[in-house]
Amino acid sequence: MTSPEPMLLDTNILVYAIDGSSSYHVPSRAVLERAYDHGAKLCVVPQSLAEFYSLVTNPKRVAAPKSPHEALATIDLILALPGLSVLPIPLDLVGRWIGLCRGNPVPCAKIYDLQIIAVMQANGVRRICAYSKADFERHSDILIESP
């Protein structure tokens, strides 16, 4: 089933979709499998692909880490899905996330979520599929969906 608006997949959806030991595996896999449909309108940001690589190759973060080669092969498979696209990074990205942070300061690593929101806003994407709702709920223009 296609939706009227594009939806960004947060990094955790990608990680859990390939981690069969996770309790989130089945619903995450189902979300990612929607991308087999050309009209799925799913998307990711480049940052999430880098985070995915970092997480799935880190034995401290996943039970069965992938080798760098396996992680890259998995990213290739994700990128080949016909209903999934990579959002372009806007030239004014730094100014966008700084503006978001000035309007609603965040601590530490939460800055990376603001960067994702900035890319979403620049590309007219309002929906995100994520488990970590708290990371995005302070932004009323973002619609958060759980798998």
pLDDT digits (tens, 9 = 90+) for 12-71: 999 999 999 999 999 999 999 999 999 999 999 999 999 999 999 999 999 899 999 999
Helix axes 68-79, 46-56, angle to 10 degrees: 150
Report the topology of domain 7-145: Rossmann fold (3.40.50)
What gap in Å lies between CA 127 and CA 15, rounded to an integer? 19
Q: Is the pTM for the entire model greater than 0.75?
A: yes
Q: How confident is the model at residue 5 (pLDDT cuts 50, 70, 90)?
A: very high
91: left (phi over 0), alpha (psi -120 to 50) or beta: alpha
> Helix 11-18 vs helix 25-33: angle between axes, to the nearest 10 degrees?
110
- Note the pLDDT tens digit of each residue in 108-139: 888 899 999 999 999 999 999 999 887 787 77
